[in-house]
Structure 1
Amino acid sequence: MKQLYYAALIYLVLGLAGGLGYREITKANGFTGDTQLAVVHTHLLVLGMLVFLVVLLLEKTFTLTDSRLFPWFFWVYNAGVVWTAAFLAINGTRTVAGEPTGAALAGMAGFGHILLTAGLVLFFVCLRSRLSTSDTAPTTTIGR
């Protein structure tokens, strides 16, 4: 469970740094247009911090880490979040600097979204297996 807490904490720090970076990079360059830098911090805060806080709550209830698929979910999903945020930052920084961005960078960011999707599929399969396990577990009643 500490692994989930620390993942959420790291994404909080990265998300806040992403917001600060967006503000400072655009201010330093006098940039006022649209850039993917604007969504780096929200991707990190929502897909990183918030998701891992929810997974932490579900872990407490369903012991998701007992599933053999949990490590796969954890590492594939983290790779997807980091990869996506990195290429959003690269693409956004190039936009602010007035450099061309192109299809290759968009494709690389798209690969991050594919990793995120694979991670989410793994998560739901993992959750389903733990729901099945908890359905068959004996229940205790208070007062008997």
Structure 2
Amino acid sequence: MTRLASAAFTYMLIGVGSGLFYREFTKAQGWEEGAYTQLGLAHTHLLTLGFIVLLIVLLLERAFALSRSRMFGWFFWTYNAGVVLTSAMLIWHGILTVLGKESSAMISGIAGLGHIFLTAGMVFLFLALLKAIKRAPAVASAPAAAGVSAA
């Protein structure tokens, strides 16, 4: 659980930092405010896919002990590789856009690889979750658990 919390905190810091970079870099380059660049997308990807998703996974870990599954390790590393690759390519492409330079197909290819890793990571997460749900003891219905009889 500490690894998940640390990763979520790291993504929160990097996500907020990337938002600051986006604002200050575009201002310093004389970029028209509100004009499109992928730098803003990196900010939201890091905060949503990194920070928020990992906080949700932390809650799932607390409830279901997902890390007992071998799939969880695969999820953690594959998913994080996807977040890092995708966000790095958004930042790289955004910087090139603001500087008025051409992007290359390589950036799109690496970003696509990042999305593949994200997708695979999510599949591993659901495999771990399904295994944990099957492993979890059945919970009694709410009225029975509260001591209310059906008669």
- 2:29 corresponds to: 29
Deviation at 1:102, TM superposition (A): 2.6
TM-score using structure 2 length:
0.89
CA distance in 1, matches of 2:36, 2:109: 19
The yes-or-no answer on 1:75 pairing with 2:77 is yes
- 2:6 corresponds to: 6
The yes-or-no answer on 1:102 pairing with 2:133 is no
Output the amino acid matched with 2:79.
Y
Tell me the percent identity. 49
CA distance in 2, matches of 1:81, 1:15: 11
Q: Any idea what SS the aligned residue of 1:99 has?
A: coil
Deviation at 1:38, TM superposition (A): 1.1
CA distance in 2, matches of 1:25, 1:138: 54
CA distance in 1, matches of 2:120, 2:88: 18
Output the amino acid matched with 1:118.
A
Regions of 4+ moved over 6 Å: none
Matched residues, number: 141
Deviation at 1:121, TM superposition (A): 0.6
- 1:41 corresponds to: 43
1:91 to 93, 110, 130: 93
Q: CA RMSD in A?
A: 1.4
1:114 to 116, 140, 144: 116
Which has the higher Rg, Structure 1 or Structure 2? 2
TM-score using structure 1 length:
0.93
Q: Any idea what SS the aligned residue of 1:76 has?
A: helix
Structure 1, unmatched stretches of 5+, are: none
